Amino acid sequence: MADYDEEARRLVIKLVYYGPALSGKTTNLMQLHEMLGTELKGDLMTLETQNDRTLFFDLLPVGFRAPSGLMVKFRLFTVPGQVIHDGTRKAVLSRADGVAFIADSQKNQSLNNAESFRNLAENAGRVGISFEDLPLVVQYNKRDLPGIVEEEEILARWSSTKWPVIFASAARGEGVKETLEALLRPVYLSLDADFDLETEHGLSLEGFVGSVLKGET
Amino acid sequence: MSFDREADLSELLSGEGLESLGKSLAGLLGEDYALVSSKGEWLLGRAGEGRKSISIRLELEPLGHLEASCDEARLRGAAGLVTALLKEARRYHMASELHLEAVHADYEALQEKHHSLLKSEEKYRKLAAELDLRVKEQVRTIETAQRQLYQAEKLASVGQLAAGVAHEINNPLGFVRSNLATAGSYLKDLKGLSGLEGASVSSYWKANGLDFVLEDFAQLLEESVTGVDRVARIVSNLKDFSSVDGSGKKSVDLCENLRSVGELVSGQAGGRIEFEYDLSPLPPFSCFPGHINQMLLNILMNAVQSIEGGGRIRIFSRFESGEILIGIADDGCGIPDEAISRVFDPFYTTRVVGSGTGLGLTVSRDIATAHGGSIGIESAPGRGTEVRIRFPAGGGK
Ligand SMILES: Nc1nc2c(ncn2[C@@H]2O[C@H](COP(=O)(O)OP(=O)(O)OP(=O)(O)O)[C@@H](O)[C@H]2O)c(=O)[nH]1
Ligand SMILES: Nc1ncnc2c1ncn2[C@@H]1O[C@H](COP(=O)(O)OP(=O)(O)OP(=O)(O)O)[C@@H](O)[C@H]1O
Ligand SMILES: [Mg+2]
Ligand SMILES: [Mg+2]
């Protein structure tokens, strides 16, 4: 649940990039740090990596001011994908307002994807997030590699769910913004219901999404 | 408390770090400076007038500001130093908080796992216990059914026994009948003497070989009496045994039971086995005679079955220290050491498939215990087996 400070006129939204080890979560954040032209953009903080593996989390803060003057702040986190860091994953996931699930498109990663997705659902339950209501987007990353699962097959597999699927090549910056956009939309809808973003703060869905995704000027 | 809570300036800068930062800042900015949090907390330096100010940001918003009266470049440099220090402090802060949370989460997961393990173990144990109970119940039901069936079958085999006995009875009956027929013809011969006198008597006597006739006649009668006695005994044995159906309790002399069942069995064994009776007098014993006979029959049948070709079965009884002891010993094949503990188990049998139920001794023990007694078996493989049954004098409950 987003952190709303009425007095400080501040809304802090937590988005979590989840997924199996080496699927490209950190790469997504690095690309966003490069590409986003959001009004306010902090440094990308990567915490304790060991051979490029995330040990704790990465954090990218971005934000903008709503027409009402409300400070809308996003904290984009990545979790460590390696199975052993489950406690950390759970702690990072707690209080998330939305999740981008970064899957690895390579054929030999299907099992890891499924495992990690199940782990996401389980941990959501453990930290008190209703998985049904959680804004979620699925990204199939590394589309530039050979030996990947066909798009049709992936789409067929996820067609019975309500979650959008985005194809990406995070290393090339492709599909990264699209993934964030696809996540921001349901996040806005669920926040608008709680904080009257539109009526109280003059913040429309397009304004919300557009403010975050502004291109580098 | 969560790791991603945004810490304020005073939380990030405290203790020794703050002190040494104060020294560095004083060196850089002179004494006229201050570091103030966004909440207005005075962290370092002191109040002053007409200072330049620069805000300190970590993420997006100012955490506080640094103010000093020195030139701007210096102030900017000092602010950079404070920001760099804060970044490190925050990294450490978040990492350590997260670590704590993660360890806690792992611990909780472990506890959860432990809990569910306990629960599933309990469930499993309950299930196992239930299963065990159910299996035992099933086995009991089956065993009871089998034993009842066995009783019925044994009754049928008593019928078989009776058939054997009838055959046994037919034997003496046969020769008694033929003896009597012969005796009849001898009588006719003797009748020819009537009316004869003098020398004609002796010539008739000689011509008809009456010396032999008289001798043989006596022998025939003697033989016939033995035969009839035998029949009488068999019939009485059978009568004893047939009290299987008479379900009431009766006071009996167990020696008689031993003898009658023994004789029935020995008749069946057809002479290849010698039966020895070593019976000491016993006090009257109150029991269900049908069951007791059935028990003795089971044990005696085992003894007979253990003997291939010729052998000996000794049936004995003792009355010692208020206890009735009856025993049946054979010199048959014996029971291997590893099997002796199983012979009382229901359905344990070494007989060819179909020929034994493995219930003989089980039922015997049931009967012995039902009469307040006990049954034991000892065996020397290759040399023979002895079964002993003990009862409290007077009979069981
Ligand atoms: N070819 C290709 N490689 C990629 C792509 N995205 C990420 N990678 C590579 O995959 C490796 C892992 O990427 P990361 O972003 O560190 O993965 P992660 O999900 O953060 O991994 P963990 O921190 O261990 O959970 C790196 O070598 C990336 O360069 C992609 O789109 N295409
Ligand atoms: N006197 C004995 N000598 C040698 N083995 C014996 C003797 N009595 C019992 N046993 C062994 O114990 C087994 C169990 O005996 P039990 O009378 O219970 O069943 P059974 O004789 O096999 O079957 P059933 O009594 O139905 O004919 C026998 O199969 C046999 O191996
Ligand atoms: Mg990573
Ligand atoms: Mg038997």
Query: Which of these, A62, A52, A65, lies nearest to A25 by C-alpha position?
Result: A52
Pocket lining: A113 vs ligand 1, CB cutoff 6 Å: no
> Is the ipTM reported for this complex over the cut 0.90?
no
Residues A190, A191, A195, A199, CA torsion sign: negative
Amino acid sitting at position B233: R
Each residue of B105-155: pLDDT tens digit? 767 777 777 777 777 777 777 777 777 777 777 777 777 777 666 666 665
Closest residue in A to B110 (Cα–Cα): A87
Q: Which domain holds residue A89?
A: 3-213
Q: How do beta strands A136-141 and A40-41 pair?
A: unpaired
CB contact under 8 A, B103 and A87: yes
Query: Which of these, A173, A139, A133, A175, lies nearest to A154 by C-alpha position?
Result: A139
Write the residue in B90, B99, B105 that is nearest to A90 by C-beta.
Answer: B105
Instruction: Determine the pLDDT at residue B389.
Output: 97
Angle at CA B10, nearest 5°, toward B8 and B15?
140
Instruction: Determine the pLDDT at residue B240.
Output: 62
Pocket lining: B294 vs ligand 2, CB cutoff 6 Å: no
Task: Provide, rounded to the nearest whole percent, the portion of chain B with pLDDT above 90.
Answer: 25
CB contact under 8 A, B2 and A94: yes
Question: Which residues of chain A does B105 touch, with a Cβ-Cβ cutoff of 8 Å?
Answer: 86-88, 90-91, 126
Query: Which of these, A109, A116, A107, A51, lies nearest to A79 by C-alpha position?
Result: A116
Question: Which residues of chain B does A83 touch, with a Cβ-Cβ cutoff of 8 Å?
Answer: none
Q: Tell me how far apart the alpha carbons of residues A26 and A78 are, in angstroms, rounded to a whole number.
A: 6
Write the residue in A41, A43, A56 that is nearest to B98 by C-beta.
Answer: A56
Domains and their CATH numbers in chain B: 9-111 (no CATH), 246-397 (3.30.565.10)
Pocket lining: B327 vs ligand 2, CB cutoff 6 Å: no
Task: Provide, rounded to the nearest whole percent, the portion of chain A with pLDDT above 70.
Answer: 97
Residue B268 phi, psi (nearest 5):
-65, -40
Q: How confident is the model at residue B397 (pLDDT cuts 50, 70, 90)?
A: very low
Question: Which residues of chain B does A61 touch, with a Cβ-Cβ cutoff of 8 Å?
Answer: 59-60
Q: Give B228-233 contacts, CB < 8 A, sequence gap 24+.
A: B228/B172, B228/B176, B230/B172, B231/B169, B231/B172, B231/B173, B231/B176, B233/B263
Q: Tell me how far apart the alpha carbons of residues B365 and B375 are, in angstroms, rounded to a whole number.
A: 6
Residue to test with chain A: of B1, B98, B108, most A Cβ within 10 A: B98
Mutating to test ligand 2, I would choose from B300, B302, B328, B348 the residue with most ligand atoms within 8 A of its C-beta, which is B302
Each residue of A19-74: pLDDT tens digit? 999 999 999 999 999 999 888 899 998 876 667 788 888 999 999 999 999 999 99
Q: How many domains does chain A have?
A: 1
Each residue of B251-281: pLDDT tens digit? 899 999 999 889 888 877 778 999 999 999 9
Whole-number average pLDDT of chain B: 83
Element (H, E) at B315: strand B311-320
Amino acid sitting at position A70: L
Write the residue in B60, B95, B105 that is nearest to A87 by C-beta.
Answer: B105
Each residue of A165-193: pLDDT tens digit? 999 999 999 999 999 999 999 999 999 98
Instruction: Determine the pLDDT at residue B169.
Output: 74
From edge to edge, which strands make up the β-sheet containing B323-330? B273-279, B311-320, B323-330, B384-392, B374-380
Pocket lining: B244 vs ligand 2, CB cutoff 6 Å: no
Give the CATH number, domain containing residue A161: 3.40.50.300
Pocket lining: B307 vs ligand 2, CB cutoff 6 Å: no
Query: Which of these, B91, B78, B113, B89, lies nearest to B16 by C-alpha position?
Result: B89
CA of B218 to the centre of ligand 2 (A): 47
Q: Tell me how far apart the alpha carbons of residues B110 and B301 are, in angstroms, rounded to a whole number.
A: 65
Other beta carbons less than 10 A from residue B107's beta carbon: 11
Residue with tokens 């023990």: B365
pLDDT at B225 over 60: yes
CA of B361 to the centre of ligand 2 (A): 7
